[in-house]
Chain A
């Protein structure tokens, strides 16, 4: 497998605080790579840097040899790197299906004016997005709530919707920030399957997560951050036996993380 993303000496400072400090690693095509670390370790910031919602203080992010850091977020999305959010962010006053339909934006062939005037391209787009949305909703078991207002969804379905939105963008690299947060065990396992389903469609998945059981189960590789710095990188087994990782976590919480 070749590298799809490489993160090179990425640093982001907020005032005097190094939220991400000289972090480098690569992401292989079609793998699931998890980024873990205690609260405030800089995981979300790292994702914002990769998706270009934040500009790095120094360092860069390369997508298959092309520099993407510094570009506008929607351009980065257009190139195939899409982030969903830690906070359950969705279009609250749209139905679930509308949420997924709108997220097909990157596959649009018609122009804005085309949509307004109802050009042939526009009608084809709309048709196509509708079908694709229905497929995605079925894949993620959301058909039953397709016409619910997104703001009325229970927590679990919200996460699924977040993933559905990510899927609909047809991203090559999907960044999921805490997709399992607030879920019970059963919901988590179902979502883990979803994420694996997403990967099976050829998507590279980067994920930030606190649920260690899920991380260990799902990840091909893991990167560990602490105080903005990368302290370890490797497979689940390697990480579980890494001195520095255990130390970092022991300082915060003990066994609850399941290391």
Chain B
């Protein structure tokens, strides 16, 4: 029972001989990667005294969690440009509970995810029947609507948003301190980094399992042909909802931690441009690979951050590069690898 969790079954599986070796290689790779981001990267950052990189990398980790959700909706054949809405909702749920109701951040985190999942079921029931550009359009509109709701509803405190969110307190279970109070730490950035990266690793581990399990195959069958999936007995409505709810859950988690780090949330904290960026992350990383969105987020976010030095030309250069990329590689970054196979 390793990471590899074969959905194909049967002794006749083609890579039978090599699959064990491949599995252990993957486990080792995953562990090495985890050790690298959790231990080596902090050491390098501390060594170079580039504390700002903690914030950058934490952002990458959180955005790639949200992007993983978008990727999953793509996996069932829907172009989701509404993830920023769930990130915003997640941020607000956590912030409101912490600030107005004094709930511990650690409780608000799953609650933020679950609230988003619940909302996504209501929203998803009607809109998941739409396909292609129609679904894309309606999710994009939803992003804007979430922002307007944040502006209009009394509970979100309107345009002034919620500022001065306290740092997460300690997480104790039966008197045992699992996570220390962030206020007592001398470097809360490091703590947020570890938290976000751990969640990112967990998220991608789960996604990997999901995609490589029979559940993943079922999701993929929706992307390929919903009508056929339905005729072989797959409850497509249910499966679509489940995938969309997981996606929105991830968006909510990402948004909640973002609010905790920046200690504030505003109606414009996550906007249409963010929704588009989540989609771009997935696309750039390659839609066929579970790890695609992580890679895409990293490249895109660092690229954007790096272009900061160009000042007012940042957006111009960034978008020009994107356009050029689309012209050169209209099928995504990782499509370079596919060329050999296709032709």
Contact = CB atoms under 8 A, between A and B. Distances in A.
A28 interface: no
Interface stretch (A15-23, A111-119, A193-201): A111-119
Contact of A77 (B8, B210, B230): B230
B183 interface: no
Interface residues of B, number: 34
A130 B233 contact: no
Given A78-B233, A106-B232, A127 B9 contact: yes
Interface residues of A, number: 45
B286 to A, nearest CB: 14
Contacts of A84: 231
Nearest to B220: A94
Nearest to B6: A126
Contacts of B218: 102, 105, 112, 115
B7 to A, nearest CB: 6
Interface string B164-197: 0000000000000000000000000000000000
B215 A115 contact: yes
Interface string B1-42: 100011111111110000000000000000000000000000
Given A115-B213, A118-B5, A89 B13 contact: no
A74 B235 contact: yes
Contacts of B232: 77, 82, 102-103, 105-106, 165, 168-169
A128 interface: yes
Interface of B: 1, 5-14, 209-210, 213-215, 217-218, 220-221, 224-225, 227-228, 230-237, 239, 242
6 contacts: A93-B220, A101-B9, A112-B218, A131-B10, A134-B12, A169-B232
Interface of A: 51, 53, 72-74, 77-78, 82-85, 89-94, 97-98, 101-103, 105-106, 110, 112-113, 115-116, 118, 122, 125-131, 133-134, 146-147, 165, 168-169
